[in-house]
Amino acid sequence: MGGQFITFEGGEGTGKSTQLGLLSARLRTHGLDVVETREPGGPIRKLLVEGDQDWDPMAEALLHFAARADHLAATVRPALAAGQTVLCDRFADSTMAYQGYAQGLGRKTVEDIYALVVGDLKPDLTLILDLPIETGLERAIRRDIDETRYERMGPEFHEILREAFRDIAEQEPDRCVLIDANHPVDTVHEAIWVVVQDRLGLS
Ligand code: TMP
């Protein structure tokens, strides 16, 4: 049997990386072989998250999917084939929310590129961390020095994003669970743990 593919999604500063690390540690105490990874990665990341290049939204989506194609081939698919549990900080729902909704590319275009690049693979579980945009942006701006391109996109952009992620969660309730991230780290972790335990059948 292949491993489980769990993705973390949400806007800026919602605590995805922290929660991914906590979940990873807890899954390991249950004996699972966990791989932690993130998108966008590799040399393409810098093009997208730094500077202030005004990419055409299609070009931007394709860059994210180019990084994803490589990431799937090099990391995700081999790990799943080896039965490992893959925890991924952002995946294609980010392209749908950021490029599809907030940058106006549209759902259908992102779905079409997904079909071409990713095919039938889907995360087994997607945890969508939801937080008021002011709280998240404040955290993100305090933390990041260079990787600020998306953080600087303005409040309307980030409001659309938040709604986009909520919409995605509503459209795919079997795969996605919306997590209220406006609580202390441990409380959010426990909420995530309840969901993951249930989905993975852990006790
Ligand atoms: P991170 O800071 O959470 O690692 O994510 C990098 C930035 O890239 C974040 O602002 C969201 C953005 N992004 C997209 O716009 N589209 C995508 O497909 C992905 C994976 C990330």
Tokens linked to 157: 């952009």
Using one digit for the tens of pLDDT, what is the confidence trace for 116-135?
Answer: 999 999 999 999 999 999 99
Is residue 123 within 8 Å of residue 5, measured between CB atoms?
yes
Sheet with strand 34-38: strands edge to edge:
34-38, 85-89, 5-10, 125-130, 176-180
Tokens linked to 191: 């909420």
Nearest Cα neighbor of 93 from 111, 117, 74, 119 is: 111
Name all domains of the chain by residue range, CATH numbers in brackets. 5-200 (3.40.50.300)
> Concatenated DSSP letters for 88-152?
EES-HHHIIIIIIIITS--HHHHHHHHHHHTTT---SEEEEEE--HHHHHHHHHHH-SS--TTGG
Is residue 181 within 8 Å of residue 129, measured between CB atoms?
yes
pLDDT at position 144 is: 83
Closest-CA residue, ligand 1 atom 4, reads: 39
Name all residues whose Cβ lies below 6 A of ligand 1: 12, 38-40, 48-49, 64, 90, 94-95, 98-99, 147, 150
Confidence bin at 202 (pLDDT 50/70/90): confident
Those residues whose C-beta lies under 8 Å from the C-beta of residue 152, and which sit 6 or more positions away, are: 52
152 alpha carbon – ligand 1 mean position (Å): 13
Alpha-carbon torsion (61, 17, 148, 74), positive or negative: negative
Is residue 64 within 8 Å of residue 132, measured between CB atoms?
no
Ligand 1 closest atom vs CA 140: 2
Those residues whose C-beta lies under 8 Å from the C-beta of residue 83, and which sit 6 or more positions away, are: 1, 2, 3, 33
128 alpha carbon – ligand 1 mean position (Å): 14
Ligand 1 closest atom vs CA 144: 2
Residue whose structure tokens are 């795969």? 175
Nearest Cα neighbor of 157 from 139, 136, 178 is: 136
Ligand 1 closest atom vs CA 103: 15
Inform me whether the pLDDT recorded for 3 exceeds 70: yes
200 alpha carbon – ligand 1 mean position (Å): 27
- C-alpha–C-alpha distance, residues 3 and 65, integer Å: 22
Confidence bin at 12 (pLDDT 50/70/90): very high
96 alpha carbon – ligand 1 mean position (Å): 11
Using one digit for the tens of pLDDT, what is the confidence trace for 143-152?
Answer: 988 999 999 9
Closest-CA residue, ligand 1 atom 10, reads: 150
Closest-CA residue, ligand 1 atom 15, reads: 98
Confidence bin at 1 (pLDDT 50/70/90): low
